[in-house]
Structure 1
Amino acid sequence: MLRLRRSVLAKLLSSPSVSPLHRLVSTTVSAPAVSPDPSSFVVEEYLVSTCGLTRRQTVKASPRISHLKSPANPDAVLAFLAGLGFSGADIAAVVARDPQFLCASVERTLSPVVAGLAGLGLSPSEITRLVSLAPDKFRRRSMVSKLQYYLPLFGSYENLFGALRHGSGLLTSDLERVVKPNVTFLRELGLAHCVIAKLCITFPWLLSFSSERVQAVMVCAQGLGVPRQSRMFRYAVHAVAFVGEQNVAAKLDYLKKTFGWSDSEVGVAVSKFPLLLTRSHHMLQSRSEFLISEVGFEPSYIAHRPIIVCFSLEGRLRPRYYVLKFLKENGLLKADPSYYLSFMVNETAFSKRYICPHKEAAPYLAEDYATACKGEVPARFIFA
């Protein structure tokens, strides 16, 4: 069987239709097991015994390739993947994600695509990453022309792969009717090339959604008062897309009501931290009650420091507040503490400043703080 597997792989890789890249990468890779008897071919068993899928994966995958009556094409595809350097686990992941990959023609589709990608400068490892990211798109010969357009736009394959991790729809979107008009619109907004690339790495739908939707989201994001060239603009775009541009006004009204903000104050808060719009009503209400009613912050003070609204109430804000209040009640602080600064610093800095210096005077403080971070209130943190 091992001799058979190697002969199948060798035959595939020596075919004129396969690029030199395949032969170069694959000479030391063993192909997956090849089904010996076509007449006994059963899709479900092939997926398990040859492709390495679990029974649960097989139940989901088998209906999509139930028309297969022979292992000939799947065997060729598996040998092709092995030739690219895929391990058995890698191959199982590709087949589980896209069972129809087994139906692709090595000669007419997969090999020409690999040859085209190699011609664009992709290394063998980059090609295998691309197969793993978008196996269903890889079996389309149009992928090569799509990548030829996207590379200058994103600046590097690493950036392009980042965008594909967020959504592989880029590889099926119509370049002329959808993608290029969206790019033109983004440029007409005055966005620099690097800003467009960064936006589209995180939000590739900016290129693949309809022009009308993209324009509506971008116009609404601009209306939040975030400069287009700033790092925060991408968060404004995300917030609008998450909430829905038609719901932004209602969310702004809720923020005003919950925190007692004026129109100008809510504008300041959202422009400084647009992700406020993505937080649930319950979360915003609980932060308002804590920061205003317990800590004593003024609404305008919070509006200019909106990031604290998004910190964990039980895991960060409340435990740190308890620690500072305990230190203050027991006369262990020389001056009134800055609750805001204590909320902002990282865990190491907080412990170094407020817990470690008081090990002798308050030996249980670290333990009580850890307990509070778990959502419990130690007796020493209950104040009259």
Structure 2
Amino acid sequence: MYHFICRTLVQNRKVSSKTSYVRYIQTTPLFNSVSNPTEQQSLTVSYLINSCGLSLEQAISASKVVRIENTEKPDSILKMLATYGFSKTHISSLISKLPPLLLAHPEKTIRPKIEYFESLGIRGPDVPRIIFSDTSILMSSLKKQIIPNIDFLKGFLETNENLVNALKQSAQLVRCNIKKVLVPNISTLRAHGVPEEHVAKLIIMQPRSLLLRSDLFKEVVCAIKEMGFEPMRPSFILAVRCMSIISKVKWEKKKEVLTSFGWSENEFLLAFRVQPMLMICSEKKIRDVMDFLMNKAGLKQSHIARCPNLFLTSIERRLIPRCAVLQVLMSKAMVGKNLDIVWALSSNKRYFEKKYVTRFMEDAPEVIKAYQGKMVFQGFSN
């Protein structure tokens, strides 16, 4: 029924670490115009290892696309990156992913882009974080690619703070084809009546969902409407966020976990409409929560389905301590056996503490120990 992103993993062929380095450089004609390829490649590999922190295997692979004849420019690049907060680990990974960066002009190619990002309010550790997430940014055109994309995004996000948050989620926004990708997908949301402010929220929360191929994005949006979501409501955008970044295989596996605990299709749809972020959880998290709530706490699957926010909470830090508190109160008949446990578990921190902890702490001091996670939860039937 639904079509999702299909990702193809392209694996680059690597030279085996067991291959003799000497034999490799003697038999690989990297540049026919170089008089002594073995000597110059040796310099390149040595520099990549000693100055950039690459492994031998990474250095040999990188030496196929970059040749260092002298170290003046590469040294300047490394020094500049370090000045802007790139750690040795960042630099090593950056060079392994984009070896030609070492031969770029530091003042013409690198500095203007970093300074532009800083002018947007991106400073400190956020600079390497954003650039590191999409290394090709440093080799993209500032005037033809980066600035036009940023200007387009500013039209939706209004503030630099929102823009920075969006870029932290996906730096691909800087390099994507605006006309072929973002514009059609945003137009699809508008055509279905999604408010502009919700479109902006989607860009900030999960911009990768808007980078989906336009025909697939349309199918996702139509499928969400078929499931009963209203385009004017915030939950519609949350559903788009989830369905557009989860593969069909993973989606079905997560549903299978829920149905294995007795959920019907209607219960799944109810839960997903209430809390679309349910499907962001891993299969293990979904299974662990269902197992605890049904087999330990004794709740029915239908009760869990009406409160799927429980899947977004921690079993150890929230569910177990709260259940332990309720167990103490039930054992002392301070709360009735007909207590809505699901509601108690899903209520906010302040409400739960006031309703079930501070209210009874004098007559039942054990609730403090239970709430602190120092009491074993035996189950409500014990």
TM-score range, shorter chain: 0.5 to 0.7
Report deviation, 1:199. Answer: 1.0
Q: Is the 8 A contact 1:216 1:245 kept in 2?
A: no
* SS of residue matched to 1:138: helix
| 64-73 vs 355-364, which moves further | 355-364
Q: Residue deviations 1:41-97, cap 9 Å, x none?
A: 94566457656x4x66x8646742552121122133345557xx524x557624532
1:84-163 equivalent positions in 2, closer than 5 A = 86-87=84-85, 89-90=86-87, 93-94=90-91, 96-99=93-96, 100=99, 101-106=101-106, 109-110=109-110, 113=113, 117=116, 122=120, 125=123, 128=127, 131=131, 134-141=134-141, 142-163=145-166
1:238 is aligned to 2:241: yes
Q: Is the 8 A contact 2:202 2:237 kept in 1?
A: yes
Q: 1:153 to 1:303 in 2, by over 3 A?
A: same
Report deviation, 1:336. Answer: 5.7
Q: 1:310 to 1:259 in 2, by over 3 A?
A: farther
Report deviation, 1:313. Answer: 4.0
Counterpart-to-counterpart distance in 1, 2:264 and 2:346: 22
Q: Is the 8 A contact 1:164 1:170 kept in 2?
A: yes
* SS of residue matched to 1:73: helix
Residue type of the alignment partner of 2:307: R
Counterpart-to-counterpart distance in 2, 1:295 and 1:307: 16
The equivalent residue for 2:25 is none
Report deviation, 1:212. Answer: 1.7
Counterpart-to-counterpart distance in 2, 1:108 and 1:220: 47
Q: 1:274 to 1:383 in 2, by over 3 A?
A: closer
Counterpart-to-counterpart distance in 2, 1:316 and 1:114: 42
Q: Is the 8 A contact 2:326 2:356 kept in 1?
A: yes
Counterpart-to-counterpart distance in 2, 1:158 and 1:187: 24
Counterpart-to-counterpart distance in 2, 1:257 and 1:132: 41
The equivalent residue for 2:75 is 75
Q: Which of residues 320, 323, 341 in structure 2 aligns to 1:321? A: 323
Counterpart-to-counterpart distance in 2, 1:283 and 1:317: 13
Report deviation, 1:324. Answer: 1.6
Residue type of the alignment partner of 1:325: Q
1:190 is aligned to 2:226: no
Report deviation, 1:195. Answer: 1.7
* SS of residue matched to 1:232: helix
Q: Which of residues 196, 214, 219 in structure 2 aligns to 1:216? A: 219
RMSD (Å) for aligned C-alpha atoms: 4.4
Q: Which of residues 244, 267, 270 in structure 1 aligns to 2:269? A: 267
Residue type of the alignment partner of 1:174: N
1:1-384 equivalent positions in 2, closer than 5 A = 42-43=43-44, 46=47, 53=53, 60=58, 63-65=61-63, 67-78=67-78, 80-81=80-81, 86-87=84-85, 89-90=86-87, 93-94=90-91, 96-99=93-96, 100=99, 101-106=101-106, 109-110=109-110, 113=113, 117=116, 122=120, 125=123, 128=127, 131=131, 134-141=134-141, 142-244=145-247, 255=258, 258-261=261-264, 263=266, 265-279=267-281, 284=286, 287-288=289-290, 291=293, 300-333=302-335, 337-347=339-349, 350-359=352-361, 361-371=363-373, 376-377=376-377, 384=382
Q: TM-score, normalised by structure 2?
A: 0.67
Q: 1:284 to 1:188 in 2, by over 3 A?
A: same
Report the structure, 1 or 2, having the larger helix content.
1
* SS of residue matched to 2:176: coil
| 286-295 vs 231-240, which moves further | 286-295
Q: Residue deviations 1:214-242, cap 9 Å, x none?
A: 12222222333222232222321233235
Q: Residue deviations 1:289-325, cap 9 Å, x none?
A: 6546765656554443332354444543344233323
Larger Rg: 1 or 2? 1
Counterpart-to-counterpart distance in 2, 1:98 and 1:272: 45
Among all aligned residue pairs of Structure 1 and Structure 2, give the percentage whose two residues are the same amino acid.
21
Residue type of the alignment partner of 1:214: F
Residue type of the alignment partner of 2:318: R
